[in-house]
A and B are shown apart, each in its own frame.
Chain A
Amino acid sequence: MAELSRKGVARRSWPESLHWDWSRKAPELELLATRGIGIFCEQDWQGAMMTRTVVHYSRLDDDSGKPLVYIDFLEAAPWNWPIAPINQQRRFKGVGVMLMREAVKQSVGEGFHGRVGLHALPQAERFYREVCGMTAFEPGPGGGPLVYFEFARAQAKRFLGGDAHEGARKDLRGGTRGHPRGNPRGNPRENPRENPRGGS
């Protein structure tokens, strides 16, 4: 944040999740309905996600009213954000895909058949639409400003078995831009106790 400010980058170009404070979300993990998953690799948290399994239901016609895994927060660590204005290249690519994959696996394990839903920040819409292949619901009157995305069963199955998953695995094993050493293995952990802060 300091570097963005120092280099005069306009606020609208800052990563939208910069203000998230994961330490404030930690108490939620005491609930049975909430689950935290983090990716720990090379002595650092590379990304984290918080999901909920109650009071969120499918909006898709085929599964309308049936429960799903709702992603409350999903964030790659700040050092994995490519930020052009300050020439920052990410250490690892594919963190978001790996976390999404865990969410779909959780949904399958819960008996929700891969149904996953979330509201996306505008900067992340392209990821959920094009990389994940989720169905988008534009904000309606009286609703919030964010686009809602949902995985239908078939989309989730395709995502788990598809190229997105393979791409992520290669990136986290074989090194990425700015991180040529290789050998980092993505290691999803449940309810990480350390503080994988996404914001500052």
Chain B
Amino acid sequence: MTLNLTAAEMEVLEALAQRKDLSKTAVIRQALRLLQLVDTRVAQGEKLFFEDEVQKKKAELMVL
């Protein structure tokens, strides 16, 4: 299978692969697993939040 990415997307993929010490394939796999996990939990009625304990901020992530 060929994955077509824009230059900007490829740049992000390469940066993530370097930072996480993973191959680009592994990063894509991680992304797919995470998206499926989030999508499944949200479909079950759960919510996803980002929380900053220092600044006392909490934001719900809306997944489309």
Q: Which residues of A approach B to under 8 Å, CB–CB?
A: 30-33, 53-55, 63, 65-67, 110-113
B37 lies within 8 A of A54 (CB): yes
Would you call the interface of chain B mostly helix, strand, loop, or mixed? Answer: helix
Inter-chain contact total with CB atoms closer than 8 Å:
38
Among B20, B32, B36, B37, point to the contact of A67 (Cβ < 8 A).
Answer: B20
Residues on A with beta carbons closer than 8 Å to the beta carbon of B40: 30-31
A32 lies within 8 A of B33 (CB): yes
**Least distance between B23 CB and chain A CB atoms (Å):** 6
Task: Please list 27 pairs of residues, one from A and one from B, whose beta carbons are closer than 8 Å in the complex, sorted by A's number.
Answer: A30-B40, A31-B33, A31-B36, A31-B37, A32-B29, A32-B32, A32-B33, A32-B36, A33-B33, A33-B34, A53-B30, A54-B30, A54-B33, A54-B34, A55-B34, A55-B37, A63-B21, A65-B19, A65-B20, A66-B20, A67-B20, A67-B30, A111-B21, A111-B22, A111-B23, A111-B26, A113-B21
Residues on A with beta carbons closer than 8 Å to the beta carbon of B23: 111
Q: How many residues of B contact A (CB 8 A)?
A: 14
**What's the Cα separation between A44 and B58 when bound, in Å?**
48
**Least distance between B37 CB and chain A CB atoms (Å):** 5
User: Which residue from chain A places its CB closest to the CB of B41 in the assembled complex?
Assistant: A31
Q: Quick one: given A110-B26, A111-B26, are A33 and B21 in contact (CB under 8 Å)?
A: no
Which residue of B32, B33, B34, B36 has the most chain A CB atoms within 10 A of its CB atom?
A: B33
**Least distance between A27 CB and chain B CB atoms (Å):** 10
**A32-B36, A53-B30, A66-B22 given; 14 more Cβ-contact pairs under 8 Å:** A31-B33, A31-B36, A31-B40, A32-B32, A32-B37, A33-B33, A33-B37, A54-B30, A55-B34, A63-B21, A65-B19, A65-B20, A67-B20, A111-B22
**Least distance between A154 CB and chain B CB atoms (Å):** 15
**What's the Cα separation between A33 and B34 when bound, in Å?**
7
